[in-house]
Amino acid sequence: MLNILVTGANGQLGSALKNLEQNYSNYTCYFTDKNELDIAKANAIQEFVSENKIQVIINCAAYTNVDKAEDEFNLANEINNIAVENLGIISKKNQLKLIHISTDYVFNGTSEKPYVETDKTNPTNTYGVTKLKGEEALKKINPENTIIIRTSWLYSLYGSNFVKTMLKLGKEKKSIKVVSDQVGSPTNATDLANVILQIIPFIQTKGVEIYHYSNSGVCSWFQFAQEIMKISKSKCKVEPILSKDYKSKATRPNFSILNTEKIQKTFNVEVPEWKIALRNCIQ
Ligand SMILES: NC(=O)C1=CN([C@@H]2O[C@H](COP(=O)(O)OP(=O)(O)OC[C@H]3O[C@@H](n4cnc5c(N)ncnc54)[C@H](OP(=O)(O)O)[C@@H]3O)[C@@H](O)[C@H]2O)C=CC1
Ligand SMILES: Cc1cn([C@H]2C[C@H](O)[C@@H](COP(=O)(O)OP(=O)(O)O[C@H]3O[C@@H](C)C(=O)[C@@H](O)[C@H]3O)O2)c(=O)[nH]c1=O
């Protein structure tokens, strides 16, 4: 039996893990969100770990509102950076496995080829800055058996995400405008959750190791929206626009594609194609 603590469990990834837990009879998962266990409270985490003999932490807790983060650096930093540092310290002290999730937004999006784990980071928005600080804090503590999985454009039928926004707009509007000059790879939260649960027994690292995981294939947000409307049989027309014509507080990278070879080679995991993964979610 493995005792696993999942933080931020009411969010997208946490909910996806909850749905899959039943397939792993050798795992006892403790699903907690802010109300039960605030990751910013180090003492509470340590107590929970000791009381429940936790062996693995999957940190799904995060501040993920990209635009709002521009005005709330301190709050975003507390959750995405300082609390992550605490998790790193606790993992090292208690010799736990730690799986932390990060983002494509740590890159500035000027690359011309899919980002590998060692590529230079340089976030263009506050959310990305705080997530990168979290990564760096973990690397500094460098606990054994800790991995960071960077993912991109995560969606599910839970929480808030681009797919849910498009499904809603698809019912309400005759037409919408969506940016066509930002490209990336969407990721179905269920696919990522499956990968996490599969690889836990095989995580064995001397320090922090970074992996990239997204669904395969590439699209712009515009093409992603078009496909969402198609699968959901919405009549809403999607029109392409340029980022400069879409008003938002935070800037997003133009190129967000992650190279997923390392995680595939290391753990032999599946990477479903994005259109198939999207269909699996919506249908
Ligand atoms: N969403 C995306 O497109 C992407 C996400 N990621 C990363 O993947 C991970 C999972 O993301 P996702 O599931 O979408 O995130 P969500 O925003 O859906 O879920 C995060 C959860 O964490 C909770 N939370 C916030 N603060 C705390 C706290 N102090 N203690 C405990 N729980 C807290 C949130 O509660 P509340 O909602 O009440 O604040 C929410 O339930 C995150 O690390 C994110 O940065 C990476 C790439 C893309
Ligand atoms: C709703 C909407 C968005 N857009 C654009 C804005 C933006 O450039 C892009 C995506 O918008 P969103 O605000 O939904 O996505 P955003 O919150 O930027 O999504 C990001 O979330 C964080 C947590 C991550 O880690 C990233 O990987 C990424 O998934 O689509 C339109 O052009 N038209 C629209 O009607």
Q: Residues 96-141: pLDDT tens digits?
A: 999 999 999 999 999 999 999 999 999 999 999 999 999 999 999 9
Rounded distance from Cα 228 to ligand 2 centre (Å): 14
Quickly count: other Cβ atoms within 10 Å of residue 201's Cβ: 13
Instruction: Kindly list the domain boundaries of the chain, sorted by start residue.
Output: 2-160+187-214+257-272
User: HEC string of 71-107?
Assistant: CCHHHHHHHHHHHHHHHHHHHHHHCCEEEEEEEHHHC
Residue 88: predicted pLDDT: 98
CA nearest neighbour of 109 among 233, 243, 223, 224: 243
Pocket of ligand 1 (CB under 6 A): 7-8, 10-13, 33-34, 38-40, 60-62, 64, 79, 83, 101, 103, 131, 151-154, 159, 161
- Nearest CA residue ID for atom 16, ligand 1: 11
pLDDT tens readout for residues 241-268: 999 999 999 999 999 999 999 999 999 9
Residue 221: predicted pLDDT: 98
Predicted model pTM: 0.98
Residue 271: predicted pLDDT: 97
Pocket test for ligand 1, best of 5, 30, 34, 82 (most atoms within 8 A of CB): 34
Residue 122: predicted pLDDT: 98
CA angle 270, 275, 281 (to 5 degrees): 80
Q: Which ligand is nearest to the CA of 180?
A: 2
How far out from the chain centre does Cα 146 lie? 16
pLDDT tens readout for residues 46-84: 999 999 999 999 999 999 999 999 999 999 999 999 999
Question: Cα–Cα distance between 88 and 96 in angstroms, integer?
Answer: 9
CA nearest neighbour of 76 among 89, 64, 84, 87: 64
Residue 90: predicted pLDDT: 98
pLDDT tens readout for residues 221-245: 999 999 999 999 999 999 999 999 9
CA nearest neighbour of 30 among 64, 63, 66, 2: 2
Which pair of structure tokens corresponds to residue 205? 């690292």
Q: Which amino acid is at 16?
A: A
Q: Which ligand is nearest to the CA of 189?
A: 1
Residue 269: predicted pLDDT: 97
Widest Cα–Cα separation across the chain: 56
DSSP count for the chain of H helices, then E strands: 10, 12
- Considering 30, 105, 115, 127, which one is annotated as catalytic? 127
pLDDT tens readout for residues 175-194: 999 999 999 999 999 999 99
Q: Which ligand is nearest to the CA of 213?
A: 1
Name the CATH topology of 2-160+187-214+257-272.
Answer: Rossmann fold (3.40.50)
Rounded distance from Cα 210 to ligand 1 centre (Å): 19
Residue 27 designated active-site:
no
Residue 279 burial class via C-beta count within 10 angstroms: exposed 0-12, middle 13-18, buried 19 and up: middle
Rounded distance from Cα 130 to ligand 1 centre (Å): 13
DSSP output for 122-146? --SSHHHHHHHHHHHHHHHH--TTE
Q: Which amino acid is at 167?
A: L
Rounded distance from Cα 188 to ligand 1 centre (Å): 15
ipTM over 0.90: yes
Residue 118: predicted pLDDT: 98
* Contact of 152 with 103, CB cutoff 8 Å: yes
